[in-house]
Structure 1
Amino acid sequence: MKRPFAVARVPRSMMLIPLAPVLVAQAWRTVRRTPRLDPATGAEHGFVSGVDPRRGPAYRVVVIGESTAVGVGASRHAEALPGFLAEALRERLRRSVAWSVTGENGATARKITTAIVPLLNGGPAGSPANGTPNGGSDGSAPDLVVLTVGINDLIRRRPLRRWTADMSELIAVVRDRYADATVLVAGMPPVHRFPALPQPLRSVLGARARTMDRIMREAAAAGGAMHAPMDEAMARDRRLFASDGFHPSPAGYRAWAQDLAHAAVPAPGPAAAPGASPAGAAPPRAAD
């Protein structure tokens, strides 16, 4: 028996045409009503002392990306993704962790590839004798590079074909610059649950974000990086969002950092000899 109307055969772009005026109006109102939060302040590098000095030199982490990399929604970087990620890795590795962050609020994947990564100096420093980081001046290479990217490409409706090329190029550039590091690509957030977005705009952007996340995962696998999907359950807790209903709060950054640390270091390893490579520092493999 023939179906009277096969919705599955109608291109999604065609189905959205009747909604276009509503989506445009909702997007305009959302931009006007959403509070503009500043990036986090404070030092852009830090050091978390390990619980076991026999574990070897500090594990080095670089966070690169857009607004979530630079801590929009938190007051200080130490209370945003880089600081909480360092603490989570310290607990899993039981060794010191040095971290640094480089990014720009509003940056797209293309912007990160062409204007942010080329300016990096090689990552965060290790721990000198007095226990304070020196900001990468010793040229120490990172063990882990975390990329947060995608939300600005979503908002600007970057064509999916270009998004695919942008992600592939970004991963290739980072892998080339940090050949010995694990590259971890943070997955797209569950936009379909963002409190700041009204329906149907929330569902439309959420569906596109899921498609972008799939492309991101495939690009990571092809480029020798890892992909860490964001836990959708996080978005059900309003306390994990900042006041704008769009970015993570400090509690949200902490929860997200725990997931990223688990992806980078799946399980705490047995006691290692000084100088041994930690779990998660091996050549990267595609996750998910």
Structure 2
Amino acid sequence: MFLKISTIVLIPSLIIQGNAVKKNTLRLPEPDGNRQGMIGTGKSLSILILGDSAAAGVGVEIQEDALLGAVLNQLKDQYEISYILEAKTGHTTGQVIKTAKSMSAQHFDVVITSVGVNDITKLTPPENWIQKQQQLYAEINQKFTPELIIAAGVPPMNMFPALPNPLAWLFGQYAKGMNKTLGKFVQKQANMQWIEYDLERFKTLNLEMAADGFHPSKEIYALWGEQVADKIRQMF
């Protein structure tokens, strides 16, 4: 109720600031590079990455510096990896579900997801968002039968340099609510783990975000990839 009331009260500011952010924020393209292939030597491992612009690697120029490249770099000396990246800038959870539905049924050992920021910018309440998340992971389990799903938590948008207050504050409240519901959901799933997007830790490590103040940098993708790889090694 607090979030709903806050949203209603702040609507005039949200419209003004939202339009200003859209106009003034640097728009970065998705990075170049292979989104499907094989790499590495060792035990066979298949990986699918699904999601939004962060999953796609926006913030860097080449996929080798994005989440996909960071994960592959961490694992390629231990595993022979077949990989597919299906992610697009602007995608909400509903659109990621459509992407999953459009793909042919096939097995992946690991599915990595990153989605939520665009649901926040559309002011999707956390209780509605988690219902969509449940639909997404039901589709993933049915279509791809993964042994491990690694979900990225929603980033604390109140800390995004590109966002002014009160817009940043409100988006941060949405992110907090979404992560709370996601954490509870993941704990009940036998094949799921999640990674929190810890901007405070990144700042203590002197890691800056990308030039647009909205997406991960090469250094943050590298750390994110290391966290993902650690969870994969524990499982396989």
Among residues 57, 60, 65, which one is paired with 1:74 in the alignment?
Answer: 60
* 1:216 maps to amino acid: L
Higher strand share: 2
1:173/1:223 CA distance change after superposition, 3 Å: farther
State the TM-score, normalized to the length of structure 1: 0.74
1:240–1:249 contact (8 Å) kept in structure 2: yes
Unaligned runs of 5+ in 1: 1-9, 123-138, 266-278, 282-288
2:37–2:84 contact (8 Å) kept in structure 1: yes
C-alpha displacement of 1:246? 0.2
1:185–1:227 contact (8 Å) kept in structure 2: yes
Q: Residue deviations 1:154-177, cap 9 Å, x none?
A: 110113332121001101110112
- Is 1:262 the counterpart of 2:234? The answer is no
Instruction: Give the Cα–Cα distance (whole angstroms) in 2 for the partners of residues 21 and 120 of structure 1.
Output: 40
Instruction: Give the Cα–Cα distance (whole angstroms) in 1 for the partners of residues 85 and 3 of structure 2.
Output: 38
1:188–1:209 contact (8 Å) kept in structure 2: yes
Residue of structure 1 in register with 2:218 after alignment: 250
Q: Residue deviations 1:101-135, cap 9 Å, x none?
A: 0122111111111x20022245xxxxxxxxxxxxx
More off after superposition, 41-50 vs 158-167: 41-50
Among residues 74, 82, 88, which one is paired with 1:98 in the alignment?
Answer: 82
Q: Residue deviations 1:265-288, cap 9 Å, x none?
A: 3xxxxxxxxxxxxx414xxxxxxx
Matches within 5 A, 1:23-172: 23-50=14-41, 55-56=42-43, 58-90=44-76, 94-113=78-97, 115-121=98-104, 141-172=107-138
Aligned length: 234
What secondary structure is seen at the aligned counterpart in 2 of 1:145?
strand
1:67–1:107 contact (8 Å) kept in structure 2: yes
1:241–1:248 contact (8 Å) kept in structure 2: yes
Instruction: Give the Cα–Cα distance (whole angstroms) in 2 for the partners of residues 238 and 178 of structure 1.
Output: 38
Structure with higher Rg: it is: 1
1:69–1:148 contact (8 Å) kept in structure 2: yes
- Is 1:280 the counterpart of 2:229? The answer is no
Matches within 5 A, 1:2-13: 11-13=2-4
What root-mean-square deviation, in Å, do the aligned CA atoms of Structure 1 and Structure 2 show? 2.2
1:46–1:83 contact (8 Å) kept in structure 2: no
C-alpha displacement of 1:210? 1.1
Instruction: Give the Cα–Cα distance (whole angstroms) in 2 for the partners of residues 64 and 15 of structure 1.
Output: 32
Residue of structure 2 in register with 1:126 after alignment: none
Among residues 178, 185, 193, which one is paired with 2:151 in the alignment?
Answer: 185
C-alpha displacement of 1:74? 1.6
- Is 1:221 the counterpart of 2:196? The answer is no
2:3–2:173 contact (8 Å) kept in structure 1: no
Instruction: Give the Cα–Cα distance (whole angstroms) in 2 for the partners of residues 32 and 209 of structure 1.
Output: 23
Instruction: Give the Cα–Cα distance (whole angstroms) in 2 for the partners of residues 20 and 121 of structure 1.
Output: 41
More off after superposition, 235-244 vs 148-157: 235-244
More off after superposition, 82-91 vs 147-156: 82-91
2:46–2:109 contact (8 Å) kept in structure 1: yes
C-alpha displacement of 1:180? 4.0
1:15/1:61 CA distance change after superposition, 3 Å: closer
